[in-house]
Amino acid sequence: MNSSLINESTLNEFGLTSSNISQLNERTLLVKKFNWDYTQAHQFQRYCLSLLNEHPNQRIIICCNHPRVFTNGRGLQRPRKGEVLSLVEFDSRNAARLPYPFHQIERGGGLTFHHPGQFIIYPILKLNPKTLSLSSMIDDLFNFSISVLKEWGLNGINHENKLLGLWSGEKKLASMGIAIEKLTTFHGMALNFYRDEEFKNALHLINPCGLNAQTYTSVEELMNLENKTLENFTDSFIGRLTDAWK
């Protein structure tokens, strides 16, 4: 672990230990924790932002998922000129009716959901138009996911839909919501890996990302996972990121 970047004595504040931290390369730390309390993970992202203000050439990549929770961003995707998007805005006054905790946060996008069957990546890094712009970072996260799934035999996944996300036909597999402070990104991508029937039932109460709940799918619903696991996906995804982000 790069001790000059993260103070080990502070990890316990965020529900972490040194076993959750590994070094991908000289510039990049990986933080991996599954079923991580959302509040602790969010606070840790903000801690990482302060670290990168002092160490702008470093990156912190967080791979995790959370207990069932709803988060609401700054607002739904806006249509381009001449474009029509049939999205339904969430009224935050209805948050008390939701069956799981609700967090109003600073990322882009509308109301979305998290559960332990997701793969979530939060890249904390300084953007640079010459080396890694916001659009290229988003494309990379989608393309790393597509590459892993294609290697597993799942084809036809793309991010060419006019609505930001990872799609299989008309079904949405992953959502993207980014926040930027002082050119440093946080929040990120959530990919539905396992089906969560209980959460699917809860989604009928809302319109996640402004879309009908029936729009959402998971890797498990699209292919036979056999012996493939969320941990396998995480390792393969991080391998591609490590190779691409030197």
The reported pLDDT for the residue numbered 205 is: 65
- The mean pLDDT value of the chain amounts to 88
**pLDDT above 90 as % of the chain:** 70
* Burial state string for 22-43 with b = 16 or more CB within 10 A and e = fewer than 16: eebeeebbbbbbbebebebbbe
Q: Residue 203: pLDDT above 90? A: no
- Asked if 209 is an active-site residue, the reply is yes
Q: Does residue 3 lie within any of the structural domains?
A: no
Tell me the average pLDDT across 18-44: 96
Of 10-19, 54-63, 98-107, 211-220, the poorest mean pLDDT is in 211-220
Catalytic residue among 48, 63, 64, 209: 209
Q: Does residue 1 lie within any of the structural domains?
A: no
Cross-strand pairs, 62? 31, 122
The reported pLDDT for the residue numbered 37 is: 98
Task: Report pLDDT digits (tens) over 40-97.
Answer: 999 999 999 999 999 999 999 999 999 999 998 876 445 455 544 444 565 666 677 7
Cα–Cα distance for residue pair 206/213, rounded to 1 Å: 7
CB 144 within 8 A of CB 176: no
Look up the domain containing 177 and give its range.
8-244
Q: Does residue 226 lie within any of the structural domains?
A: yes
Tell me the average pLDDT across 139-160: 97
Q: Does residue 63 lie within any of the structural domains?
A: yes
Q: Which CATH number does the domain housing residue 224 bear?
A: 3.30.930.10
Number of domains comprising the chain: 1
Cα–Cα distance for residue pair 193/175, rounded to 1 Å: 12
**Residue 86 CA, distance from chain mean position:** 23
Tell me the average pLDDT across 191-211: 75
Q: Does residue 234 lie within any of the structural domains?
A: yes
The reported pLDDT for the residue numbered 83 is: 47
Q: Does residue 166 lie within any of the structural domains?
A: yes
Q: Does residue 12 lie within any of the structural domains?
A: yes
**pLDDT above 70 as % of the chain:** 86
Task: Report pLDDT digits (tens) over 225-240.
Answer: 999 999 999 999 999 9
